[in-house]
Structure 1
């Protein structure tokens, strides 16, 4: 018979409480650096974005030529006198009434901006999406193709306008030379003909817009989960069905971004028109951004009326931006 000694279990070590990490208080230097990093961008943002926007809204209710002060009093208090510059004064909503009823370039400008947006949506955006889908398949030399296609985005709009002026030149342009319309008896004035110049400029703008959309969709395609495509292939879907029924719906955030960018780019179209017209108004090229510039810095210098057109353009631009923000916040709440 053997004797066994009972086992004794060692007492568990007492739990030592963790020491809380003490938060380091900010020194005066840290507070100054943080204030500078936050304050300087906010100050610049307020000075160059918010203040001009609010000033434009206020000036849209005034009659002002840019000379003299702006007084918040009705214009009837300042009777006009020959040789004396009248100060800026309040006229209420007369600028808006004039814009919608008596300004001959307003509705043509709205129509041309709508055509600009339609061409971007129907032509430039699908073309950029096609470029992105082809490059995403990993074809040979895709990096080179991507760089070549993206080249127009890196060029300024002013330089693009100069390049396409050489293409559209009536006597020495590439198109007229290739088609034999470079003689004085059969010239085609692509940029001077009111029935052709808008469409010619839309080709220029689409040449730059399509690669921009391509980059956005390339980023969206890289973010799609590969398991979705594999599951679609296992279910027997072909490439076309996989893209439109699986990949494209998964890129909904990118689609919203592309839509917002497309609307904003179509509304702020200015550089190509200004370069083409050499700063002078041309029939067939009326746009809201051009009308704003012509009234503010043109010969008439109607600052108040030009601000009114700018406010109209701002309100139209806020619609897609508000839609984008609403979708973004809604997506964050659903997570």
Structure 2
């Protein structure tokens, strides 16, 4: 009688050797089914083909064409390879290049030194869960969903010489978009208006991920809110800071829509992106020369993208 429970227990509990192979085999068969393989292949292959065809191949073609003298119309056999002459001409004998570099650097300085800190300040305020914070978040982020071309038309209501709100309020007669001494500042204010909402959203997401115990520990130590933010919270958001830096640099380099809508990148609004368009699809149609300008933009962007990727990889290893 005492052996009966042991026999029943042996019959009730299957051995791992008998159960594991069957379950493992079923899982392997499920993963290796034809449908799964087709879906996985498409999920990998389709984005890879799109990125290769729309990003990498045009980028490689741009670099190759930067060493040629071609109008983009004649047959490929007429392409004349000139080496680094286009780069030399860009730097030495192309008058708009130096103003374009200066304007891009000024654009970067304004976005990084004014618009980004202001966006961070708004994020800190909204992170306090003030009354109506959801409404303010939506209102401040709204310009981000608009294109820069549309923003240029919106700000035309303020900047118009004859019917603009600014001239009407102050009784002035300034041509904000047409005067070469002020139009760069006018378009940067319009661009910064959009940039502030984007940076606010990035920092707001970063602040939501900060451990509340860090702020509590700083408060216990007697640190003020400003000291706690800059000495505790801000260093913790280092990945967000790197993202903001990269985004700001790329935004300053690819700024195109706004200046093109205003005056096609001329008369005080010269930017590298506008010069590329003028030479590639403009009246001159100098594909090789425009590709050299685009390659310069690509190289500058790759420096900051490399910094970002290096930072992300270091964080993942930690």
TM-score (norm 2): 0.92
Post-superposition CA distance 1:234-292 (Å, at most 9, x none)? 11111111111111111111111111101111110000001111x3x422111000000
User: Does the 8 A contact of 1:165 with 1:276 survive in 2?
Assistant: no
Q: Residue 59 of structure 1 corresponds to which residue in structure 2?
A: 65
Among 282, 287, 301, the residue aligned to 2:266: 282
Following superposition of structure 1 onto structure 2, how do residues 144-293 of structure 1 map, counting pairs within 5 Å?
144-181=135-172, 187-277=173-263, 279=264, 281-293=265-277
Tell me what 1:43 maps to: 49
Q: How many equivalent pairs are there?
A: 305
Whole-angstrom CA distance in 2 between matches of 1:119 and 1:193: 20
Separation in 2, partners of 1:169, 1:250: 44
Q: Which runs of 5+ in 1 are unaligned?
A: 1-7, 72-86, 182-186
SS at match of 1:284: coil
Q: For structure 2, which runs of at least 5 residues remain unmatched after alignment?
A: none
Provide the rounded CA distance (Å) in 1 between the counterparts of 2:108 and 2:185: 12
Counterpart secondary structure, 1:65: coil
Moved more, 92-101 or 16-25: 16-25
Q: Say which SS state the counterpart of residue 307 (structure 1) adopts.
A: helix
Equivalent position SS for 2:46: helix
Q: Which residue of 1 aligns with 2:102?
A: 111
Instruction: Report deviation, 1:33.
Output: 2.4
Which structure 2 residues correspond to residues 254-333 of structure 1 after superposition, within 5 A?
A: 254-277=240-263, 279=264, 281-333=265-317
1:176–1:188 Cα contact (<8 Å) kept? yes
Distance 1:124 1:153 in 2: 13
Taking only aligned residues, the RMSD between alpha carbons, in angstroms, comes to 1.8
TM-superposed deviation, 1:41 = 1.2
Work out the CA distance in 1 between the residues paired with 2:189 and 2:281: 28
The answer as to whether partners of 1:70 and 1:89 remain within 8 angstroms in 2 is: no
Q: Report how far residue 309 of structure 1 moved.
A: 0.2
Deviation at 1:115, TM superposition (A): 0.3
Runs (4 or more) in structure 1 with deviation over 4 Å come to: 10-15
User: What is the distance in 1 between the residues matched to 2:230 and 2:135?
Assistant: 27
Distance in 1 separating the partners of 2:126 and 2:73: 55
1:11: Cα distance to partner? 7.5
| Distance in 2 of aligned mates of 1:30 and 1:206 | 47
2:270, 2:222 → 1: CA distance?
A: 51
* Higher CA-based Rg: 1
Between the aligned partners of 2:41 and 2:313, the Cα distance in structure 1 is 28
Q: Is the 8 A contact 1:60 1:311 kept in 2?
A: yes
Decide which structure has greater helix share.
Answer: 2
The 2-side partners of 1:135 and 1:192 are apart by 37
Aligned partner (choices 124, 139, 147) of residue 133 of structure 1: 124
CA distance in 1, matches of 2:179, 2:123: 35
Aligned to 2:76: 70
Residue 19 of structure 1 aligns to a residue in which SS? helix
Distance (whole Å) between structure 1 residues aligned to residue 247 and residue 286 of structure 2: 30
Q: Whole-Å Cα distance in 1 between the matches of residues 40 and 317 of structure 2?
A: 30
